[in-house]
């Protein structure tokens, strides 16, 4: 069953959820609103129809977020999840269903159908991801980590391309100790096989490593992300069930000369081509957060951005 699902945000950053009727499949559980895509119907049309019929609101702007295929014991569903940035009206349960605005942090997965777990996981991703610059000593890396945690970053990719695997593992373990008790999650950037040895929150694949992969390199309980620069790489990451990607370069940087950057319109066109949370990377300032989300980004990522 192909289902169009909408994640609707209000001004406070809360999402709209509704309770399934008791006599329906997975009845009594909460869900993100939506409904079945009819034969020959466009997904966006199905989403707009369902929201108007069930909630009485008109959708103005939405972007693809995630495709989730899930097999229940009695049926299989493909959740085609979209985020909704603009709408008209005040949502109400026109079919007698309860509706509520909830913060993402208050969404326990046990209260939702199992297929919705991946939606909650992706929505729980922070809006900012920091990437550490290559540095000459661990003392310098420690200073960078302390600066980033002091500025509120909660997800940091440890990128030290100058180190071999053994050195990298040693530094990563020390970095984990530095961040202990801060609520910060660290993602490793080298060999996914190191994940078991360092208690990382996940693994990030470079664009070159992404092309070498034939399947998701880590389990669903950890985060898998990848660096992308074009539609081919984005679709490869999507096929490998990445949890999120970075797309770069959006703006001009020292690494990329003038004319090589994507620009915001091209970023949006590429991000809309896949159902993945996409972070804008490359020449991004922290003040670009709202602009990035307007152009379809889940958030922003960067090396110098937060330093």
CATH number at residue 179: 3.20.20.70
Q: Which residues contact 55 (CB under 8 A, 6 or more apart)?
A: 16, 18, 33, 89, 91, 92, 93, 94, 99
User: Domain ends where: 89, 123, 157?
Assistant: 123
Flag whether 307 is in a domain: no
pLDDT of 256 reads 65
Query: 203 and 268: one domain?
Result: yes
User: Domain ends where: 108, 123, 138?
Assistant: 123
For residue 287, is pLDDT > 70?
Answer: yes
Range of the domain at 290: 128-302
Query: 38 and 67: one domain?
Result: yes
Question: pLDDT > 70: what percent of the chain?
Answer: 97
User: Domain ends where: 96, 123, 150?
Assistant: 123
For residue 126, is pLDDT > 70?
Answer: yes
Query: 197 and 164: one domain?
Result: yes
Query: 141 and 263: one domain?
Result: yes
Query: 181 and 111: one domain?
Result: no
Q: 259: pLDDT confidence band, cut at 50, 70 and 90?
A: low
Mean pLDDT of 281-287: 94
Query: 221 and 164: one domain?
Result: yes
Mean pLDDT of 22-50: 86
What's the number of domains the chain is made of?
Answer: 2
Instruction: Please tell me the pTM assigned to this model.
Output: 0.81
Query: 118 and 133: one domain?
Result: no
pLDDT tens across 138-161, in order? Answer: 999 999 999 999 999 999 999 999
Check which CATH number belongs to the domain holding 16 and give it: 3.90.79.10
């Amino acid at each position: 069953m192909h289902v169009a699902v909408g994640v609707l945000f209000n001004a406070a950053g809360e999402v709209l959820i509704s309770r399934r009727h008791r006599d329906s499949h997975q009845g009594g559980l909460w869900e993100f609103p939506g409904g079945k895509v009819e034969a020959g119907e466009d997904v966006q049309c199905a989403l707009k129809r369902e929201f108007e019929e069930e909630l009485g609101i008109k959708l103005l702007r939405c972007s693809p977020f995630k495709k989730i295929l899930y097999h229940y014991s009695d049926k299989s569903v493909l959740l085609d999840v979209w985020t909704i940035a603009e709408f008209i009206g005040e949502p109400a349960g026109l079919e007698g269903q309860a509706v509520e605005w909830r913060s993402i942090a208050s969404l326990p997965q046990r209260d939702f159908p199992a297929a919705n777990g991946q939606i909650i996981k992706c929505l729980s991703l922070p809006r900012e991801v920091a990437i550490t610059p290559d540095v000459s000593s661990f003392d310098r890396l420690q200073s960078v980590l302390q600066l980033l945690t002091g500025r509120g970053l909660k997800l940091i990719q440890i990128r030290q391309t100058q180190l071999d695997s053994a050195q990298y593992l040693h530094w990563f373990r020390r970095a984990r100790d530095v961040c202990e008790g801060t609520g910060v999650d660290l993602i490793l950037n080298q060999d996914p096989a190191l994940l078991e040895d360092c208690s990382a929150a996940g693994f990030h694949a470079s664009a070159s490593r992404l092309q070498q992969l034939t399947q998701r390199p880590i389990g669903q309980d950890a985060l898998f992300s990848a660096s992308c620069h074009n539609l081919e790489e984005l679709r490869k990451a999507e096929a490998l069930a990445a949890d999120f990607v970075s797309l770069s370069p959006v703006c001009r940087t020292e690494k990329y000369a003038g004319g090589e950057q994507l620009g915001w319109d091209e970023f949006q066109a590429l991000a809309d081509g896949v159902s993945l949370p996409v972070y804008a990377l490359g020449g991004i300032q922290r003040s670009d957060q709202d602009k990035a989300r307007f152009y379809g980004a889940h958030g922003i990522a960067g090396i110098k951005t937060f330093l």
